[in-house]
Amino acid sequence: MAELNAIEIRNVSKIFGFGEFAFAAVDKASVSIRQNEFFTLLGPSGCGKTTLLRLIAGFEFPTSGDIMLNGENIAAMPPFKRPVNTVFQSYALFPHMTVADNIGFGLTMLGRPKQEVRDRVAAMLRLVRMEALAGRRTSQISGGQQQRVALARALAPQPKVLLLDEPLSALDYKLRKDMQIELKRLQAETGITFIFVTHDQEEALTMSDRIAVMSSGKILQVGNPREIYDAPTDRFVADFIGETNFLKGRIKSVADGVADVDTPVAGRISATVPQDFHAEGEVTVVLRPEHAMLCPPDQPAACQMTGTLENVVYFGTDTHYHVRLSDGETLFTLREQNKPLQSARFAEGDRVGIALEANAARVLRN
Amino acid sequence: MPDAAGTIEAEKSRDIRKRWLLSLPALLIILLAASGPLLIVLVYSFLTPGPYGDVQWLPSLEGWISVVMEKDIFDGTFSIADAHVSIFVRSVVLSLVTTILTLLAGFPTAYFIATRPERTRELWLFLITIPFWTNLLIRTFAILEIIRNEGLINGLLLKFDLISGPIQMLFTDGAILTGMVYVYLPLMVLPLYASMEKLDFRLVEAGYDLYATPFKVLRKIVIPLVKPGIIAGSILVFIPALGAYVTPSILGGGKNLMLGNLIELQFGQGRNWPLGSALSITLMLIVMVALLAYVRNAGSQGSRHG
């Protein structure tokens, strides 16, 4: 028998307001989150990711659809009955309690014996390395420490699923990097399913087992970080994650999931077609900037495209080139890693060619 | 030539002088209209009553003794003044019950307003203040009109044959309580609202998330966090309720006296100004004790948060 999914969102919609002001914060979303998974809901602000998280936590109830937790429908269950805990964006620590009382709150509310609560609080303080601050008020500790307390408080009752609502957004860069590693460690040590909400694509790519990209209340694509980055099927996903070049073209033929696309600026390109997608007519092809190279324009065999180099930006590890293609409209971005002591091969204003790596291009669904 | 620090210092002290000057009118009013009369009351309480009211300038402790004792007119011995003690007890009990009832009614009201969308909150607060538009006396007579034997409630009950004779509601402690709860409710709601408005409702959500039932969230999170508002509201209701005069005199009918009525009696029909003064100061002392308890409570609250 296959293992039950930790969370299953089945065709869930959440509509705020009535009549002409009605607005679907979550629009017929369906996704399955596996046991012990670090799952990320990624999207720009207002895309519905936080609403979806609040639906799972029970702070909002879906207008329609089911939310299954280990096979049980919890869509109508009040939040205090759900074995799910939340780390809030603002931490929401109780200001009138000590660090230890905050961490023990959930267990106390569950009616666990005092000794068990004490032991568990001590274990949690050890887990987040905050033993020394147990007796402090939450107003007397730093933002990073508050973050740890919020994590310990949510983990203490051993929830089936831990929900994290942009928990790192208030921290400075260095602390955020540390907490990212810390979160991965905690997830591995506790074996609890994490559902993490963020608008930071880098954070999502580095931390997640799988990512769901959301926009306007819809889940556009679910996959592991590599799939999301390398094989975006949707224009929004391709644009939101990393830098991307879009080329218009017309399908000539499709064979074995690879389409022969005729583009006005780059001629014939072989591009991978998403599964279950019947590609025909006008399509958009995406190309990542690091999957292209500059080449001398006088070698037509190697270069698919030519254009004028408009802009060179040095980034330390690599250099970004912005090339105005021969149609005079499209600005193509490409990125080359810098080699030691190598001087720039091309200068702004030069005519350049662009060579594409094999299998780099992909056809989008829309 | 003065140095920069000296110039700043001089500028600062001139600024402070200017502010004192600006607050002078208020200070004069406080000095003349509050402290002055209070001093007179204090002096009067140690004098001898005159035959037609007023005081005679003969020092005497009789006013103070009469606060709780009464002199037998035949043998001159003192015994506990049951009437005064029962008025003290009634005043404190009625004020406490008023405070509790306004708290019970005001807490959900304030919570309701604080959880409305920001735009509509002002409207709700405005509605709360509507009773202040009409004179207290008129509002109290309106209550009298509703609860008297020939009034609205008894009239309706009789008309529908639900009772055989009118229920005596007027001139009871219950009538005084009804009037006071009505009058002082806004004084409870406003400070409660002020502290609930500052309440971070994400903490309420965090409570729900950590398995606290709605009742537990109220007890463990909401009440501890709005405690300053509860204390402020209770003080604002308890103190004026203790000295209430209009409500008990109209709805209590002179039979169920409270401290305010007793004091008025001494300055009027009783012609015993020293006793009236001593009673007034006793009332002030009760209030001061209540305030001290408040300050201590609020102080410990502050240090715990600090």
Q: E strands, chain A, where?
A: 7-16, 23-33, 38-42, 64-69, 72-73, 84-87, 161-165, 193-198, 210-215, 218-223, 245-255, 258-263, 267-272, 282-287, 292-295, 305-314, 318-325, 331-337, 351-356, 361-363
Q: What's the pLDDT band for B303 if we cut at 50, 70, 90? A: very low
Using CA coordinates, name the residue in chain B closest to A57. B209
pLDDT of A352 strictly over 70? yes
User: Is residue A134 scored above 80 in pLDDT?
Assistant: yes
In the prediction, which pLDDT does A340 show? 80
Q: What is the pLDDT of residues A164-209, one digit of tens each?
A: 999 988 888 888 888 899 899 989 888 999 999 999 998 999 999 9
Q: How near does any CA of chain B get to the CA of A167, in Å?
A: 14
Q: Tens digits of per-residue pLDDT, A27-57? A: 999 999 999 999 999 999 989 999 999 999 9
CA distance A109 to chain B (A): 5
Contact status of A94 with chain B (Cβ, < 8 Å): yes
Lowest mean pLDDT among A206-215, A238-247, B74-83, B243-252: B74-83
Distance from CA of A63 to the nearest CA of B (A): 20
| Cβ pair B213:A57 closer than 8 A | no
Q: What angle do CA B266, B272, B275 make, to 5 degrees?
A: 80
CB B157 within 8 A of CB B167: yes
CA distance B120 to B130: 16
User: Within 13 Å and on the Cβ side, how many CA atoms surround A265?
Assistant: 24
8 Å CB contact of B206 and A59: no
Determine the pLDDT at residue A82: 95
pTM of the model: 0.81
Task: Report DSSP state, residue A93.
Answer: -
Contact B210 A153 (CB under 8 A): yes
Note the Cα A213 to chain centre separation in Å: 6
| Chain B touched by A139 (CB under 8 Å) | yes
Say whether A303 sits in a helix, a strand or coil: coil
- Asked if the C-beta of B221 comes within 8 angstroms of chain A's C-beta atoms, the answer is yes
Does the distance separating the beta carbons of A58 and B206 come in below 8 Å?
no
For B208, the closest of A80, A94, A139 (CB atoms) is A80
Name the strand (E) or helix (H) holding B70.
strand B69-71
Q: Which of residues 19-58 of A touch B (CB under 8 A)?
A: 57-58
B213 contacts A79? CB cut-off 8 A: no
Q: Is the CB of residue B219 less than 8 Å away from at least one CB of chain A?
A: no
B301 or B226: which carries more pLDDT confidence? B226
Distance separating alpha carbons of residues A357 and B296, to the nearest angstrom: 76
Domain with CATH 3.40.50.300 in chain A: 7-230
Q: Which of A38-42, A240-244, B91-95 has the lowest average pLDDT? A: A240-244
pLDDT > 70 fraction of chain A, expressed in percent and rounded: 99
pLDDT at A170: 81
Confidence class of residue B306 from pLDDT cuts 50, 70 and 90?
very low
Task: Quickly state the pLDDT bin for B304 (edges 50, 70, 90).
Answer: very low
Alpha carbon of A193: minimum distance to chain B alpha carbons (Å): 16
pLDDT over 70 at B2, yes or no: no
Pick from B205, B212, B225: which is nearest to A96 by CB? B225
> In the CATH hierarchy, which fold is given to the domain comprising A243-363?
OB fold (Dihydrolipoamide Acetyltransferase, E2P) (2.40.50)
pLDDT score for B38: 92
Q: What is the ipTM of this complex?
A: 0.83
**Residue corresponding to tokens 């980055």:** A229
Which residues are CB-contacts of A92 (< 8 A; sequence separation ≥ 6)? A150, B200, B202, B203, B205, B206
Q: Are A240 and A233 in contact (CB under 8 A)?
A: no
Contact list in B for residue A50 (CB cut-off 8 A) is: none
| Range B155-164 average pLDDT | 88
* Architecture of the domain defined by A7-230: 3-Layer(aba) Sandwich (3.40)
Question: Smallest CA–CA separation between A50 and chain B, in Å?
Answer: 14
Task: Identify which has the larger pLDDT, A327 or B148.
Answer: B148
